[in-house]
């Protein structure tokens, strides 16, 4: 939930370098992983700076990705034409009274305007929704109406993980049954809508249930840091219960990273980061117990 992000006093100091981002994108590509979207915290980048990142990421990835920065104005959306597949807005909850209390820094009005601008400039539309904030399944009607009214192409569900020092500290965690129900109802009402779900390490056994319910992708897993661990193996196993898993979270392919970086003319900074990440992955790949 965004309450943790609100504690970042100087977002520009919390952002990642372009070299580290491109290194991660290259690793994801070579290992066959999908990328949900390019995400930048509020105020972390000037928009022109962000465009530099997006152009470089597209070059490495080889195709357009989604962008998640909360909301955008018309001048910004116009500059994204041909650069991204679509834009994701941070709706967080469709219980609107609850949203006013929990997300005062994320006014819904500007996000709705962003969605309209996406229509104007031919960009696809996505939204994020956090479950467990205090909503109930009775609020599903609001979600259904929102998806219909704004013609959403994709939705990402997250489950709230209560953090110490926030208003959610001590709050009961959303039950898997309720999470699955939201995904199932959404998939049934909108079979063409792409549904992505986020889970936590202590709830990975719900992934197969969420996939069976209609989800088509899983996010929120630190794949490099936990590569080859029992958690990575569990995600692969859960995915195979339903049909399969793209790429691998447990086996490193043989890749000449210097050659790959050279093909894209990315420079020594990116190579250094790639080798740093691969070292981390090698150090964890035998920890499947």
On whether residue 190 sits in a domain, the answer given is yes
- What is the tally of structural domains in the chain? 1
Per DSSP bridges, beta strands 154-159 and 84-92 are unpaired
Residue 77: inside a domain: yes
- Residue 284 included in any domain: no
Residue 110 lies in a domain: yes
Is the predicted pLDDT of residue 286 greater than 60, yes or no? no
pTM: 0.91
* Cα distance between the two ends of the chain: 31
3-class SS string, 110-158? HHHHHHHHHHHCCCEEEEEEEECCCCCHHHHHHHHHHHHHHCCCEEEEE
Q: Which pLDDT tens digit goes with each residue over 156-204?
A: 999 998 888 888 888 889 999 999 999 999 999 999 999 999 999 999 9
Which position has the token pair 């790429």? 247
pLDDT at 151: 98
**pLDDT tens readout for residues 37-79:** 998 765 667 999 999 999 999 999 999 999 998 889 999 999 9
Eight-class DSSP state of 260: H
**Which comes out higher in pLDDT, residue 1 or 204?**
204
Q: Domain range holding 182?
A: 5-221
- For residues 69 and 40, the answer to whether their CB atoms sit within 8 Å is yes
256, part of any domain = no
Residue at 162 is within a domain: yes
40 assigned to some structural domain: yes
Place of tokens 């609850």: 98
Nearest-5° angle of CA 229, CA 180, CA 153? 95
pLDDT, tens only, 113-157: 999 999 999 999 999 999 999 999 999 999 999 999 999 999 999
Query: CA-CA distance, 122 to 127, in Å (whole number)?
Result: 16
Tell which residue, 101, 103, 77, 97, has the closest CA to residue 88: 77
The residues, any chain, with a CB within 8 Å of residue 183's CB and separated by 6 or more, are: 157, 195, 197, 210, 213, 214, 215
Q: Is residue 265 included in any domain, yes or no?
A: no
Output the domain CATH number for residue 99.
Answer: 3.20.20.70
């Amino acid at each position: 939930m965004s309450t943790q992000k609100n504690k970042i006093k100087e977002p520009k100091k919390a952002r990642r370098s372009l070299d580290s981002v491109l290194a991660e994108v290259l690793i994801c590509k070579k290992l066959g992983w999908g990328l949900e979207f390019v995400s930048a915290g509020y105020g972390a980048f000037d928009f022109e700076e962000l465009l530099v990142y997006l152009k470089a990421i597209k070059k490495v990835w080889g195709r357009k990705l989604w962008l998640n920065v909360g909301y955008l104005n018309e001048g910004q959306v116009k500059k994204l034409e041909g650069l991204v597949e679509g834009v994701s807005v941070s709706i967080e909850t469709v219980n609107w009274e609850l949203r006013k209390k929990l997300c005062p820094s994320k006014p819904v009005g500007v996000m709705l305007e962003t969605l309209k601008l996406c229509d104007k400039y031919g960009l696809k539309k996505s939204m994020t929704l956090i479950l467990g904030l205090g909503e109930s399944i009775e609020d599903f009607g609001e979600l259904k109406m929102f998806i219909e009214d704004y013609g959403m192409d994709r939705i990402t569900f997250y489950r709230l993980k209560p953090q110490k020092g926030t208003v959610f500290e001590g709050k009961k965690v959303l039950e898997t049954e309720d999470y699955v129900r939201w995904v199932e109802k959404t998939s049934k009402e909108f079979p063409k809508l792409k549904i992505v779900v986020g889970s936590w390490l202590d709830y990975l056994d719900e992934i197969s249930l969420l996939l069976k319910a209609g989800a088509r992708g899983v996010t929120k897993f630190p794949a490099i840091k936990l590569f080859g661990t029992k958690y990575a193996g569990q995600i692969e196993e859960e995915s195979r219960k339903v049909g399969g898993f793209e790429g691998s979270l447990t086996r490193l392919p043989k890749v000449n990273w210097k050659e790959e970086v050279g093909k894209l003319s990315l420079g020594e900074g990116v190579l250094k980061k790639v080798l740093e990440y691969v070292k981390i992955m090698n150090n964890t790949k035998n920890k499947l117990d």
